[in-house]
């Protein structure tokens, strides 16, 4: 089964950028909401793709919580809400996806003492059909007895904010792994590792987040710089994989030919007729034991000293493949091969 990869993004929405909790909650829930500060009504009731929505740590509707978040903030540059967007494994039943999204929403509400709205989204009809994901829109203030109180600063602080984001990523990765294990899809768990390629020791170029606007422009034929760069990286990685497959195939053919050649070759006779103790001309002057058997080198058969038997031209073909691979990778701008090529002994230092 195909699967998407781990993705989690945390964003803050501020009035200084024209945002409001009413507009954000209306959008993610495909509903209506009125921004009491700006006096504007936002209507997204015609939007499709919303599977479920529910408040966590708040007794009320998403619209009521959004109005509370907007009305509590009194400054024109206030951060009115935060939003957590994260990908879900495709192919899961809706119930499983909803339980997973709700679990992370409750975790956020408990850890920071805030109220939020959890929304489960289905893939867009025009987008990638594996794009199952969820939104958690939550308050920037703690909630007590149904009222928003003091601001939560842990996500804003430079020292603690980055650590909290790492914790959220790790926690969501853990929850996803547990869900996949519960449905017997353990082989997909590594794809949902929250760590970066660098932290995992993977030498591979990474793509950049394009965003909803970037993908929409790409579908209209107006690709952004990020979209073009990501496409170039994807094409380069696909070309690298293709070259590695060619190398592996050629290696398998060469090995098979070598084995067939070695199997059909007559075994060398170890016993000779020269007198005991005299040097053997046929054996390159090697001494002969009293039993008449040549004293072989410690590495085994004399003919094995040059390595495994290879068919004529194999070394030249391998060198040619390596040179060709190095030249094509240079054109693609990749500084190193992936793990598959390194396992074949094809690292950049041999080109």
Give yes or no for residue 202 having a pLDDT over 80.
no
The pair of structure tokens assigned to 241 is 């994989």
Whether residue 2 has pLDDT greater than 50: no
Q: Mean pLDDT over residues 315-325, rounded? A: 58
Position with higher pLDDT, 277 vs 91: 91
Give the DSSP letter of residue 51.
E
The residue behind tokens 């072989």 is: 296
Distance CA 70, CA 15 (A): 10
In the three-class reduction of DSSP (H, G, I as helix; E, B as strand; rest coil), residue 170 is classed as helix
- Identify which has the larger pLDDT, 74 or 281: 74
Angle at which helices 158-182 and 94-112 pack, to 10 degrees? 150
Residue 65 corresponds to which tokens in the numbers above? 């919580």
Among 132, 91, 86, smallest CA distance to 107 is for: 86
* Mean of pLDDT values over 135-158: 95
What burial class does residue 137 get, using C-beta atoms within 10 Å of its C-beta: 0-12 exposed, 13-18 middle, 19+ buried?
buried
What average pLDDT does the segment 252-257 reach?
Answer: 77
With cut-offs at 50, 70 and 90, classify the pLDDT of residue 302: very low
**Over residues 27-32, mean pLDDT:** 96
* Least reliable range by pLDDT among 11-15, 16-20, 225-229, 325-329: 325-329
Residues 6+ apart with CB under 8 A from 135: 28, 83, 84, 85, 117, 118, 119, 121
Q: What pLDDT, in 10s, does the model give residues 64-102?
A: 999 999 999 999 999 999 999 999 999 999 999 999 999
Would you state the pLDDT for residue 274?
47
Query: In this model, does residue 297 exceed pLDDT 70?
Result: no
Tell me the two tokens of residue 30. 């495909």
């Amino acid at each position: 089964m195909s699967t998407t990869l781990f993705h989690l993004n945390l964003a803050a929405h501020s009035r200084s950028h024209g945002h409001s909790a009413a507009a954000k909650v209306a959008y993610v829930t495909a509903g209506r909401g009125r921004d009491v500060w700006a006096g504007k009504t936002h209507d997204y009731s015609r939007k499709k793709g919303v599977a479920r929505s529910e408040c966590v740590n708040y007794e009320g509707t998403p619209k009521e919580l959004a109005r509370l978040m907007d009305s509590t903030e009194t400054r024109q540059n206030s951060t009115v809400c935060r939003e957590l967007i994260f990908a879900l494994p495709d192919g899961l039943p809706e119930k499983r996806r909803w339980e997973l999204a709700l679990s992370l929403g409750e975790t956020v509400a408990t850890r920071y003492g805030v109220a939020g709205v959890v929304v489960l989204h289905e893939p867009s009809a025009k987008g990638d059909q594996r794009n199952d994901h969820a939104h958690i829109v939550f308050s920037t203030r703690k909630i007590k007895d149904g009222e928003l109180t003091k601001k939560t600063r842990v996500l804003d602080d430079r020292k603690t904010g980055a650590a909290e984001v790492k914790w959220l990523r790790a926690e969501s990765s853990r929850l996803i792994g547990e869900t996949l294990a519960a449905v017997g899809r353990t082989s997909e768990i590594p794809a949902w590792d929250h760590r970066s390629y660098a932290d995992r020791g993977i030498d591979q170029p990474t793509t950049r987040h394009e965003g909803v606007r970037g993908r929409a422009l790409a579908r209209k034929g107006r690709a952004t710089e990020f979209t073009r760069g990501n496409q170039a990286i994807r094409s380069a990685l696909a070309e690298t994989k293709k070259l590695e497959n060619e190398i592996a195939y050629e290696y398998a053919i060469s090995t098979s030919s070598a084995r067939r050649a070695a199997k059909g070759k007559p075994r060398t006779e170890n016993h000779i007729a020269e007198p005991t103790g005299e040097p053997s001309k046929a054996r390159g002057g090697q001494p002969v034991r009293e039993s008449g058997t040549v004293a072989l080198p410690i590495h085994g058969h004399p003919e094995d000293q040059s390595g495994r038997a290879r068919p004529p031209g194999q070394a030249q073909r391998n060198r040619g493949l390596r040179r060709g691979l190095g030249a094509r990778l240079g054109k693609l701008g990749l500084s190193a091969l992936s793990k598959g090529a390194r396992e074949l002994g094809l690292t950049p230092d041999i080109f």
